[in-house]
Structure 1
Amino acid sequence: MANVVPLKPVQPQSAVAAVRLSQVRIEFRTRNRPPFKAVAPTDLAVQENEFVAIVGPTGCGKSTLLNAVAGLLKPAGGTVEVMGKPLAGLNQDAGYLFQQDAVMPWKTALDNVAIALEVKGVAREDALGEARAWLAKVGLGRFLDRYPHELSGGQRKRVGLAQVLIRHPKILLMDEPFGPLDAQTRQIMGNLLLDLWAGDRKAVLFVTHDLEEAIALSDRVLIMSAGPEARVIGDHRIDLARPRDASDIRTDPRFHEIHKAIWTQLRAEVAKTYGDAAP
C-alpha cells in the first residue's frame, strides 16, 4: 500500500519555501455574471531543491495556479510568497516553460537562446558563448544555425529548455511542457530534464495531465479536485530512488503501487468532469 496522505499535505520542513501559497483563491469576473470561482482557498508549498508535480482533471485550475506563481495572474485573495517574500508583479526568480514553443521563427537556435541574456543587458558575444554551451548541454551543439522550422518538435523543446535555463532561475514553472510530443520523445525529454535538474536541483512546479510522467519525474505529486472551486486534495510522496530513468522507473513495482494509490483518488475527480460521478 502506497504511503499517501489524501488531505493534509506532506511537506519537508523548511523555514523558507521557494514557493508558498497561503489561502490563495482565484476568481474570474465577467460582465453581468457572478464571479467564476476557479480555485478555492488553497495552500501549497514547494521547497528549495524540490520537484513537485500537479495533476488533476481538465479545467481544474492547474495552469491557473501556475500563472499565479509566475505573477501573470493576481489572486482574488490569499498570498503568494517566493523565496520568503510576497510576490509583487512578475516572478523574477522563475523561468516559465509553456506547452507551446516560445521560439522565434526568424531566429536560429543559437540566437533564440542568446536573446534570453541579451534582453538583460549581457553583451552579445558573451550571450552567444553561453548559448552555445547550453545548446550543447541539451544535445543541440550541431544545430546552432538551424531555424525552428528545420527542427523537430523535441528539438524545439530543447531550445526552449535552454532559453529558460540560461537565465539560471531559482524556480522552474513548467506547464505541460512536453504535452505536444509523442510518448517516446516525452520520455527522452523527461530524462534530459532530470539530468539537467540534478546539477543544481532547482525548485520545480510541474503541471501535467500525465500521471505516469508526474510520478517518474517528481518528489511529490499534488492532486487537484474537479472545478469550479478546485483545491488541492492530495499530496503524495514519491519515494522512488534517485537518480531515475524516466523510462525504466515505470517497470519498478513500487512505481505501480504509487500509481494505483494516486489514480484511486484522481479517478473520482476526473469522472466528475465527464458527468460520471455525483458531485
Structure 2
Amino acid sequence: MRTGEASTAVALHDATVAFRLADARLYTAVEQARLAVADGEFVAIVGPTGCGKSTLLNVAAGLLTPASGTVRIFDAPLTGLNREAGYLFQADALFPWKTAIDNVAIGLEIAGAPRTHALQRAQGWLESVGLGGFANRYPHMLSGGQRKRVGLAQVLIRDPKILLMDEPFGPLDAQTRQIIGNLLLQLWTADRKAVLFVTHDLEEAIALADRVVIMSAGPSSRIIGDWTVALPRPRDNFEIRLTHEFHALHREIWAVLRDEVMKGYAQAGEAVG
C-alpha cells in the first residue's frame, strides 16, 4: 500500500449497464453493481460465462458508460477514458511487425519520450519479466507465455495506478498460467497498484487476490458475494493452493458460484435451443 491514507482507486455505485439489441429490445447486462477497490488492493471478479465480468471492467476503463449509477476513479467522477488505468486483454495486443523491445517502448514514445530513453526503459522492463535476452525477437518468435510477459511489460512501462486485467492468462496452459501468475504477484508486490482481475478460474482468483467477488448468472447480473482472502503474503501461486486454508475458502466460495455456473449453462442451452 502506498504511504498515507488509502484512497478508493475504483468505485462503482449502483452501476447498471444495458445494451440495445438488433430487434430494439433493451438487454440489461449488469444491474446495480456496487464495488470498491482500494489503492493497492488486488480484487478478482469471478462468475459464469456471459455474466458481465468484462462489462464491469470496461466500465472501470471508461470504455462503457453505465445507463445509471456512478463510476469514480480515485474519488473523482470518470467522464471519459480512464487515464489512470492500464488494460491487459486476453488476446495479445502486440504489433506483429515490431520487436519485443519496440512493442514495450511504444507506450512511452507515443507519450513523447525520446526513443533512446524509451528503449532503455523498455529493456529494463523486459529484464523485469525475464525476457532481457529476447528484445529483438518478433511476436511470432515467442511462445504464448513469452508474449504475455511482453504484454505485461507493455502495460507496466507506463506506470498506471490501476491494472485492469481481462482473463489475461486464459489462452495459456495450466503450468504457464501458474508461472505467469507468480510473475504478476512479484511485480505487484514491488509496486502495489490497484488491480481488477477478471477470470473464470476460481483457484486462480483465490491464489492471486486480496478479495474475490462473485457475480450471478445474467442477464441483469449482480454482485452476490465478496470474500476476503486472508492468506499470507508474499504468496507463492503454486504452494498456496496446497494449504488447508486455500481449500476451505475454495469450498466456501464454490458453494455459491456453482449454482450460478449451472444457471448460466442452462440459459445458454435454452438460447441455443
TM-score bucket of the superposed structures, by smaller chain: over 0.9
Equivalent runs, 1:1-279 vs 2, <5 Å: 16-275=7-266
Question: What amino acid maps onto 1:249 in structure 2?
Answer: I
Task: Please list the CA deviations of residues 189-237 of structure 1 after superposition, one character each: whole Å capped at 9, or x if unmatched.
Answer: 0000000000111000000000000000000000000000001000001
Task: Give the CA deviation at 1:147.
Answer: 0.2
Counterparts of 1:196 and 1:15 in 2: how far apart (Å)?
A: 20
- 8 A Cα contact 2:8 2:74, kept in partner: yes
Task: Give the CA deviation at 1:57.
Answer: 0.3
Q: Over aligned residues, Cα RMSD in angstroms?
A: 1.0
Counterparts of 1:33 and 1:133 in 2: how far apart (Å)?
A: 51
3-state SS of 2:171 partner: coil
Q: Which 4+ runs in 1 deviate beyond 3 A?
A: none
3-state SS of 2:57 partner: helix
Counterparts of 1:40 and 1:159 in 2: how far apart (Å)?
A: 35
Question: What amino acid maps onto 2:162 in structure 1?
Answer: I
Name the structure 1 match of 2:270.
none
Counterparts of 1:216 and 1:82 in 2: how far apart (Å)?
A: 26
Task: Give the CA deviation at 1:31.
Answer: 4.3
Question: What amino acid maps onto 1:45 in structure 2?
Answer: A
Question: What amino acid maps onto 1:65 in structure 2?
Answer: L
Greater helix proportion: 2
State, as a whole percentage, how many aligned pairs show the same letter: 65
Counterparts of 2:164 and 2:30 in 1: how far apart (Å)?
A: 18
Task: Give the CA deviation at 1:251.
Answer: 0.2
3-state SS of 2:112 partner: coil
Task: Please list the CA deviations of residues 109-158 of structure 1 after superposition, one character each: whole Å capped at 9, or x if unmatched.
Answer: 00000001000011100000000000000000000000000000000000
Counterparts of 2:60 and 2:103 in 1: how far apart (Å)?
A: 25
Counterparts of 1:190 and 1:15 in 2: how far apart (Å)?
A: 25
TM-score calculated relative to the size of structure 2 = 0.95
Task: Give the CA deviation at 1:32.
Answer: 3.6
TM-score calculated relative to the size of structure 1 = 0.93
Unmatched tracts of structure 2, length 5 or more: 268-273
Counterparts of 1:275 and 1:124 in 2: how far apart (Å)?
A: 53
